[in-house]
Structures are given as C-alpha cells and as structure tokens.
Amino acid sequence: MSPDDVFRDDLTTLVALAARRHAEGRLAEAVTAYTDALRLDRRNPALLCGFGLVLRDLGQVEGAAQCFEAAFALDPDCVDAADSLGSLRAGQGRFAEAEACHRAALVRSANRATFWNNLANALSRQGRAAAALAAWQRAVLLDPALPEGLSNLGGGLRDAERLDEAERAHRRALRLMPDEPQANNNFGHALQGRLRHAEAARWFRRALALDPSYAAALCNLGLAVQRLGDGVLAERLYGRALRVAPDLPLAHFNRGLLRLERGELAEGWAGYGWRFASGQAGGARQPRLPAWRGEDLAGKRLLIWGEQGVGDTILFSSLCAEAIARARSVVIETDRRLVPLFARSFPAALVRAQRSDAGAVPDCDLHTPIGSLARVLRRELSAFSGAADGWLVPDPVRVALWRERVAALGPGLRVGIGWRSALMTESRRAAYSRLDQWEALFAVPGVVFVTLQYGACEAERVAAEERFGIAIHRWDDLDLTDDFDGTAALMTNLDLVISPATAVGELAAALGVPVWRFGGRDWTQLGSAVRPWFPAQRLFQPRGGEDLHGVLNRMAAQLARRPI
C-alpha cells in the first residue's frame, strides 16, 4: 500500500495532496486525489473548482466547465470558478459568455485586478475597444504591478493611437517580467505600430530566444523583416510560424500578401482568404448560404457582398461583370453610398444596401465576399489582359450638370486632388501627404484645382489657399463623404485626379478618369510595375532615398510638361 493510499478517507489530507500534485504537474495523480476527495464531499465548491483547473490543464474543457459551473452554482462567493469558466469560454472563442462569467465574478469581488484584466480580454475580442481599455486601466489601478495587465493595457493604448502611453505601459510590464516572451513580443508589436521595424525586430527576437516556438512572435518578426526589405527571410519566418501553429490566421494572411506582392497569385489569394480570421479586414458576414469556391455557377444565384473599405469594394468590383456572366442571377450587397452607382454599372444584377445580419438570403444559393472573386477569376496576371479603362457608369444627368459647373471655373487643366485618408494613424501617416507639401504642384501654371478630399479637411484646404495664393475649388452642395454618385459625376468632368491610396483614386480610375497615384508599392500591384486593376492609373513611387515630398515635386515637373 502506498503512503497516499493510507489517507484516501482523510478529506483534509486528500485536498492538500491534490493541490500539491497539481502544482508539481503530476496531473493524473491530482485527478485521482480530487476524485477521492469528491467521493467524500461531492458538493464542495473549492474541490470542484480545483478539480476543474486540473481538467482544464489536461485539455478536458467540457469536464472543467462542468466543474466550474457546479462550484459557482453551489457558492456564488466561489468567484474563482466563475472567472476560470470565463477564461475557458474565451479560449473556445465564446467571448460573450466569457464576458458574462467575468462580470459575475466581479459582482462579488470587484477589487480583483486579474478579473478586470480577463474581462478586458473578452471585451477586446468582441471588438469593444473602449470598454476593454477602461477595464485594463481598472486592473492596473487595482494592481500597478500586474504585469499581464500592463502588457495588455499597452496593447489597448496602442490600438487607441495613444502610442507614448502604450510604450510606457509595455516598458513597465517588461521591468516586472523581463523574461516573459509575451511581454517582449507585445512591446515589439507596439514599436511596429510606430513603424520602428528594426527596433521591433530586436524585441521579437528576444521573445523567440525565450520561447523558440512562439508562433505569434515568429509571425511578427516576419512582418518586421518584410517591411525592412527581406522578403525571403519573411517567407521563412511565416512558414516556421505555421509549422508551430498551422491555423494561425495572421501568418497565413501576411504570407498571402507577401506572395501577392511577388506576383504569386494562386498562392497569394489562398492566404488572402484568411483576412477576416486574422482581424485585418473587419468582420466577416456569415450568410446562411454555402460559400462559392469557384464551382460552375450555371443555374445558380450568387450573392456578392461588399467588405473592408469603399476603396477595396470599388477595386474588386472590377470582377463583378465576369461573375454576373457566369451565374443565373447575382445580388450585390454593398455600402449604401455605392448602390446607385453599382446599380447603373451592373444592370444585370440586383444591387442593394449591405445587410449587417447573418440571416437567410432566400433569393440566393451561394455567397462570396467581393474580395474572394479574385481567387477564382484572377489566378494569374494574364487574366487581367483586356481590362476596361473604366467599368463604373456615372449618372448622365448629373454628369451634364457638373460639366456646366466645372466649365464655369474657367480655362485650364482641371485636376481633382485628394491628399490623405480620412483615418490618420501613426502607422498610416507616412503613406499620405500634407497640403503644405504640394507647393510645387500648386505652382504649375494653367491648372484648375478641385478638391475631392473627404472627411474633416476644410481647414487644411483654406490654409493651403492662403499659403500658396491659389484656389482649390469646392461646392457646398456636394458631400464628398457620402454622395459617391455626385462625386463620380464631378470626376468624369476632370482631366486628371491626383491621389494617394484612398477611395478617391480608386473611384476615379474605375470611371476611366486618368489618375496619378502617389505613394509606396503595395500588394495590389501583384508583382508588376503597374496596378493591373486600373489601366487608367499612373504610379508615382519613391525612388531610392526619395521622400514623399520629392515624389510630389517630380509629379509637378511632369504636370508642367504635359501630356497626362
């Protein structure tokens, strides 16, 4: 008889033995001890909670959940059971249930910092960033030395663009746990958000020195070295990450974009298919329909739904006509602002405003996000041959109206301009311009400038007019943010549009208006020197060592020379 067998009927000893075996990692023996203890006291909440923790560590998730639920039902003061159940549900992707569990624990124990941290994690995974940030702040207020709380707070502050505060929070976390791989990785991620890729790479490498199989750090390091120009090493790192974690969405997505950048379309589109799971493309709809994977559409009714930003939807709408030609019927659901323009451009389809629900779609048999059309219809560059100069059709009545209004501006080359995104974060700012950098363009004689910039930008326009002594024309009755049909009619009457990577340039090019697009290379070039989607676009990209101001000056020299 073993020494442990002597105490099988001694509850106090069994409880101590079970906890000791669990702490030692001897999980099978801990199960035996907890089983024996529960034989003596089946309704002991603490025992049920402890047994649940062992089952959790054994990967027996539902058994663990039953233990936690029973413990909390028996004793609402057994708050660790509720919190542990919440963490379990979060691990299953059931974040709303996780939130409910953590809140239940906090009702009885509102001063537990770890509970607030866990609640914040559940809120964050539901996309409730502001609520998550507030909960992380509460956690750190309760326990300023809670390292995981500080590290998570840093991530929340980074996402809120409070980057200096984020960096301070991560540094505090690292002082508390310098050898914790996740803290090192998270700090690197914060630096990456500030485009400090070389510094970020050092912290990712430190995280990997501590844990060589840390898949998220491998993926993050891959992106850092890719941004630093080493695509070969990036590919290897993404591959290593996926060998460790074959279903890591961000690694699939990043590798997919890398391959698209190189022109490896079939492989690239497969990775691009992970965009929703990776969190890089907003939320995915889940219509109650089978997804279209490229099978024959004869006799089938296809739903194509818009995704990401308006610019992305416009780009991928270049493929809608081909899908319409293959199917019995097509429904296009898109941003409400695009409905009139798309309805006119794709008269064989039913175009309606995007739905946010995941309900049934009785008038369709299959569905696809609009960005997934390319996986079927653009598997190689040659599939772009013969692309139309423009496929969107503006309202002819409004085109005629704007022809008169633009003519009234007087003689000259009529140039529409956009200079930045409406959403300006630190990581995006480097890709866009300020109007005070347009001095050379505004100095080109014989040009009539028209603003196409959407969002809150009036002060910038007025300041540029005063600074450079020029007019940048606008009309109070045209809403450049919401009236895409009116904007399209205006654009059609312009000789040229100059824009960075925003919806302005995408819309103009899709209308067949000549576009000069400035900024760095991106994956939409698909390994080529152009953007195959838009034959009407001309790219002005930085040359070795040239900054964006230099690119704008080069555009000005070209504009002065004409032709467009």
The confidence score (pLDDT) of residue 158 equals: 87
- Report the C-alpha gap between 323 and 349 in whole angstroms: 10
In the prediction, which pLDDT does 6 show?
A: 46
- Pull the structure tokens for residue 339: 């409905």
Per residue in 490-523, pLDDT (tens digit) is 999 999 999 999 999 999 999 999 999 999 999 9
Pairing state between β 413-417 and 350-353: unpaired
Alpha helices, H only, 75-142: 79-91, 95-108, 113-125, 129-142
- Mean pLDDT of the region 26-37: 86
Task: List, for residues 431-481, the tens digit of each pLDDT value.
Answer: 788 999 999 999 999 999 999 999 889 999 999 999 999 999 999 999 999
pLDDT at 139: 95
Q: How many CB atoms are located within 10 Å of the residue 255 CB?
A: 27
* Four-residue CA torsion sign, 554, 556, 561, 564: positive
At 321 the pLDDT is 95
| Whole-number Å distance between alpha carbons of 540 and 521 | 9
The predicted-structure confidence for 94-118, as pLDDT tens digits, reads as follows 999 999 999 999 999 999 999 999 9
Q: Tell whether domain 301-379 is in CATH 1.25.40.340.
A: no
- At 1, is the pLDDT very low, low, confident or very high (cuts 50, 70, 90)? very low
Please write down the HEC assignment for all residues of 296-334. Answer: CCCCCEEEEECCCCHHHHHHHHHHHHHHHHHCCEEEEEE
Q: What is the pLDDT of residues 231-246, one digit of tens each?
A: 999 999 999 999 999 9
Note the pTM of the prediction, 2 decimals. Answer: 0.84
How confident is the prediction for the chain on average, in pLDDT?
Answer: 91
Q: Is-same-fold flag (301-379; 396-561)?
A: yes
Task: Give the strand order in the sheet containing 515-518.
Answer: 472-473, 447-451, 413-417, 496-499, 515-518, 537-540
CATH class belonging to 396-561:
alpha beta
**Secondary element (H or E) of residue 557:** helix 548-561
The pLDDT of residue 358: 62
Give residue-wise pLDDT tens across range 150-193: 989 998 998 888 888 999 999 999 999 999 999 999 999 999 98
Contact 259, 380 (CB under 8 A): no
Average pLDDT rounded to a whole number, residues 61-80 = 92
- In this prediction, residue 386 has a pLDDT band, given cuts at 50, 70 and 90, of low
Contact 380, 265 (CB under 8 A): yes
Q: Is the pLDDT of residue 19 over 50?
A: yes
Q: How confident is the model at residue 427 (pLDDT cuts 50, 70, 90)?
A: low
Which residue shows structure tokens 């200096």? 164
Question: Cα dist. 365→101, 251, 384 in Å?
Answer: 39, 32, 28
Average pLDDT over every residue of 351-378: 89
Which residue do the tokens 């690694």 mark? 251
Strand ranges for 194-320 from DSSP E: 301-305
Banded pLDDT at 22 (limits 50, 70, 90): confident
Give the Cα separation of 216 and 242 in Å (integer): 10
Residue 4 has pLDDT above 60, yes or no: no
Over residues 125-130, the mean pLDDT reads 89
Res. 286: pLDDT tops 80: no
Q: Any idea where the domains of the chain sit in the sequence?
A: 301-379, 396-561
What does the alpha-carbon distance between residue 419 and residue 442 come to, in Å, rounded to a whole number? 13
